[in-house]
Amino acid sequence: MSTQVEQVKEEFTHIQPKGSWELPRKMYHLSIGFITIFAYELGYGSQEVVPILSAYLLIVLTAELVRFNSSWFNRIYCKVLGPLMRQSEINMRINGVVYYLAGCIIVLNFYPRDIGAMSIVYLSWADPTASVCGRLWGKYTPKYGGKSLAGSLGAFFAGALVTLLFNGSWSHSSLSYHSDSSPVPLSLLSIYGGLVASISEGISDLAFGLDDNLTIPVISATLMWIPLVYFGLGV
């Protein structure tokens, strides 16, 4: 078994192990955030975006099933998409894109448009920011459950910025929060958004063993929906 693992590592040296910088993967993460913002600002609704994401998910899932049952297809798949993968995804684990798409579809289907889009950007920006900050400064701060305070602070500031932009500069598209009528000031909401991003990223590994690409948007969307919509504090 160990010999097979070593052979895989030698064949796909461009696929980085978990814990490395994974820069192509992080850039892909960040780009999804910009695409989400672009679509959000253009006024695209869930009814237009979800069918496209669902079709993409079906294609990716089909490719995953085929590659796990065909070594030659898996070899081509890994050579082409290797920079966006982890070594654990070569033979044993479903590609994170599947969970990413599933998380996006869930939040866009079951939450207001602005909260769904904001939770996707939390995933796209706060998660890689936490990873970078954790690698750079995590050794100087307390650690918990494989996470570090430095990483959590990085996620906090990224989440606060996203919340500020979504409900400030882009508030003309907001459905769940109106700064002129809400009892919650934008500054306080931004701090709360930072906490939501930090908490959802921090506990992602504890969420029933599910992939964080799925849990982060769902947890963060839920935590934003409860005060803004359920308790009506957004309007």
Give per-residue pLDDT as tens, 111-163. 999 999 999 999 999 999 998 999 999 999 999 877 899 999 999 999 999 99
Query: What is the arithmetic mean of pLDDT over 63-89?
Result: 87
For residue 234, report the phi and psi dihedrals to the nearest 5 degrees.
-85, -15
Q: Is 210 left (phi over 0), alpha (psi -120 to 50) or beta?
A: beta
State which amino acid sits at residue 39. A
Least confident of 9-13, 15-19, 119-123, 199-203: 9-13
Query: What is the arithmetic mean of pLDDT over 94-123?
Result: 94
CA-CA distance, 67 to 7, in Å (whole number)?
Answer: 18
Model confidence at 108: pLDDT above 70: yes
* Res 60: pLDDT: 92
* Res 15: pLDDT: 72
Model confidence at 205: pLDDT above 90: no
pLDDT band for position 26 (cuts 50, 70, 90): confident
Model confidence at 56: pLDDT above 90: yes
Query: What is the arithmetic mean of pLDDT over 2-15?
Result: 57
For the whole model, what pTM was predicted? Answer: 0.89
Query: What is the arithmetic mean of pLDDT over 153-177?
Result: 87
Q: What's the mean pLDDT when you consider all of the chain?
A: 87
Model confidence at 5: pLDDT above 50: no
* Res 61: pLDDT: 94
Least Cα distance to 109 among 227, 212, 218, 219 occurs for 218
| Whole-number Cα distances in Å, 188 to 113, 123, 128, 182, 191 | 21, 21, 24, 11, 5
| Whole-number Cα distances in Å, 222 to 67, 102, 172 | 34, 15, 22
